[in-house]
Amino acid sequence: MEDLTYVTGNYGKYISVREKFEKENIVISYCKMDLDEPDINDISFISKEKARQAFEKIKTPVFVADSGFYIEDYPNNPGYPGAFVKRSGVSSNIDDLLIKMQNVLNRHCYFLDCLTFYDGDQFYQFFGMSHGRLAEEKRGNDKARAKSNLWYVFIPDNCDKTLAEMSEEELNNRNDDHTSATEEFITWYMSEYMKNQNKKLIKRDGCVII
């Protein structure tokens, strides 16, 4: 199986997804790299551009994962910060976010994840979504696998704990109808991509030539 590298500047993201790949006996490499983000509020476009940058630098099949965070009734700017969650400073200034939202009754929000895989030939994208509500205070313990500081204030639908408060078992079995871009990618990678790669083998004189 060819090398598969996850490119991200966030080690917590790598820890969070590595276990999912290991369960399917897929080994992934970690490459710490900060990539430029286009100044556009489109998570799909941003993810694709970052995958292209990553491949150009390391010349091996890569995947990147990006998340947008959308707050339905953010004051004077519904849906904010969207794909600008990092550049806006929202994820790094949770206390400021809670102050901004302290008088807002509708606290519905959601994560939209986009994973882009690029093998140097084609781009493949996978999406995941998790709906929930914004807590009124930070809750949870420091965790190396936390993808974002928003884990301390995001309570998924049908749950009473923030993501940061949940055990690994609770995270994996929560009943909020969330979808996972990572899991969609793994299923596709094993069942479709590798199958198609194997079809590219050329049989000659009873031997397989790669």
Let me know the angle formed at the C-alpha of 159 by 133 and 110, rounded to the nearest 5 degrees: 30
Q: How confident is the model at residue 206 (pLDDT cuts 50, 70, 90)?
A: very low
**Counted domains in the chain:** 1
pLDDT tens-digit profile of 110-147? 999 999 999 999 999 999 999 999 999 999 986 666 67
Average pLDDT, the chain: 88
Compute the distance between CA of residue 151 and CA of residue 174 in angstroms, rounded to an integer: 14
Q: How confident is the model at residue 19 (pLDDT cuts 50, 70, 90)?
A: confident
pLDDT tens-digit profile of 33-85? 888 889 999 999 999 999 999 999 999 999 999 999 999 999 999 999 999 99
Q: Cα 198 vs. chain centroid, distance in angstroms?
A: 28
Is the pLDDT at 203 greater than 50? The verdict is: no
Compute the distance between CA of residue 48 and CA of residue 51 in angstroms, rounded to an integer: 5
CATH of the domain at 91: 3.90.950.10
The residue segments making up the domain with residue 97 are: 5-209
Is the pLDDT at 207 greater than 70? The verdict is: no
Compute the distance between CA of residue 112 and CA of residue 129 in angstroms, rounded to an integer: 5
